[in-house]
Amino acid sequence: MDIQFTEEQELLRSSVQRLLRDQYDFDARRKIVASEGGFSRKQWGAFAELGLLAAPFSEAVGGLGGGVLSTMVIMQEFGRHLVVEPFVETIVLAGGLIEQAGSEEQKQSFLPDIIAGENIWALAWTEKGSRFDLATVTTTARRDGNDYVLTGEKTAVIAAPWADYLIVSARTSDHRHDRDGVSLFVVDRHAANLHLQSFKTIDGRRAAEVSFKNVRGELLGGDGEGVAALEACRDRVIGALCAEAVGAIGELNSATLEYSKTRKQFGATIGSFQVLQHRMVDMFIAHQEALSLMQHLNLSLSAGEAGVSRLASGAKSKIGYAGRSVADQAVQLHGGMGMTDELNIGHYFKRISSINIQFGDPAYHLLRYARLDPAA
């Protein structure tokens, strides 16, 4: 499959490519990751100025109406440049949930500041022992006047140290594993009795363990409708993560091919050795298969096709395994240099490893793909 992009999508892609080429090379990215904040507010503002933060949202809420396919274009380029800024967390996850589940008042209150790059958001849904299950929630929320009061803990909340607001899943009724009774809440990240223990992830981003003790939150969407909203959002974010992974895989292939043309062993370039040529052909095939599947998934998401959730699991599994295989080969073919911090190869390896465990690893999604009804 090879998508024929519209004129607007081609313009978006070329604009992102130009911006990242000029402002986000590997050295610039390393400085951003090493900074105290771990990401660049200035760069985030540049994304907003270019319209990237508005691109996926509908025109009705102040966006550009690009939808899923604009996210795919952006994330593929972000994957090529290892962008650390929280586009997935703020735009795809939080912004998508607000647009999908929020009231008109909430959309008008929250989305303009997200689109303008003024506020950063994160989604707090993972808990210890939940093992990628959106319905396994022990954090509780009880009604208190017009608001709710949340108590519990969330683990590995990506971008939480950068966030101004969190969307938190919490149980308002039923058992910890039940689909019903889970709701979503908007919480000010600086609210009283909300505590963060921040840490750096293997791919250079920031995350946190978050605890709530009688923290006030505002209900987002209907009471007890959180799992359904999160499931729809998961499919969209898998499409975005797969696009990012494909961008990273493409860069690994290009870097490895270029290295094979210059690195010499036994008086010849390693690219002239037939056994290594076969391995690089396998890497190329893995990238092309991943690219085709990623595009198929995002086109299906854009069209709202039936069975897209099963397709999302299939893509997450297949692209996850392909990414890990290509990353392994790239590191090995670069030899000892592939393990150094100064070379970008290891950083792509780490990012692909992180993508693989977000919202379910390849093994989890392979089993989920086998269980789901193809017609569902």
pLDDT, one tens digit for every residue, the chain (376 residues): 667 888 999 999 999 999 999 999 999 999 999 999 999 999 999 999 999 999 999 999 999 999 999 999 999 999 999 999 999 999 999 999 999 999 999 999 999 999 999 999 999 999 999 989 999 999 999 999 888 999 999 999 999 999 999 999 999 988 887 888 999 999 999 999 999 999 999 999 999 999 999 999 999 999 999 999 999 999 999 999 999 999 999 999 999 999 888 887 887 887 777 888 899 999 999 999 999 999 999 999 999 998 999 999 999 999 999 999 999 999 999 887 888 888 999 999 999 999 999 999 999 999 999 998 776 5
Q: What angle do CA 215, 217, 220 make, to 5 degrees?
A: 155
Read off the DSSP letter of residue 200.
Answer: E
Q: Boundaries of CATH 1.20.140.10 in the chain?
A: 228-371
**pLDDT at site 352:** 98
Residue 76 and residue 68 in contact, taking contact as beta carbons nearer than 8 Å: no
The CB density around residue 227, as the number of other CB atoms within 10 Å, is 21
CA 50 to centroid of chain Cα atoms: 20
**Nearest alpha carbon to residue 210 among 162, 254, 161:** 161
In the chain, which residue ranges form alpha helices assigned H by DSSP? 7-23, 26-34, 41-50, 67-81, 87, 96-101, 104-115, 226-260, 274-303, 308-333, 344-357, 362-371
Homologous superfamily (CATH) of 122-223 is Butyryl-CoA Dehydrogenase, subunit A, domain 2 (2.40.110.10)
**pLDDT at site 376:** 59
CA distance 102 to 97: 7
pTM of whole model > 0.75?
A: yes
CA distance 315 to 332: 25
Q: Which fold has domain 228-371?
A: Butyryl-CoA Dehydrogenase, subunit A; domain 3 (1.20.140)
**pLDDT at site 375:** 64
Amino acid found at 348: Y
CA distance 168 to 121: 11
**pLDDT at site 147:** 86
Half-sphere exposure of 88 (CA within 13 A, CB side): 28
**pLDDT at site 259:** 85
Rg (CA), the chain: 21
**pLDDT at site 1:** 62
Lookup result for tokens 């998961």: 234
192: burial class by Cβ within 10 Å (0-12, 13-18, 19+)? exposed
Q: Boundaries of CATH 2.40.110.10 in the chain?
A: 122-223
145-168 burial code (b ≥16 CB/10 A, e <16): eeebbbbbebbbbbbbbbbebbbb
Homologous superfamily (CATH) of 7-119 is Acyl-CoA dehydrogenase/oxidase, N-terminal domain (1.10.540.10)
**pLDDT at site 292:** 96
Residue 175 and residue 99 in contact, taking contact as beta carbons nearer than 8 Å: no
**pLDDT at site 74:** 98
Q: Which residues pair with 194 in a beta bridge?
A: 212
| Cα→Cα distances 316→61, 88, 236, 298, 360, Å | 30, 16, 11, 12, 8
**pLDDT at site 340:** 85
**pLDDT at site 2:** 66
Q: Boundaries of CATH 1.10.540.10 in the chain?
A: 7-119
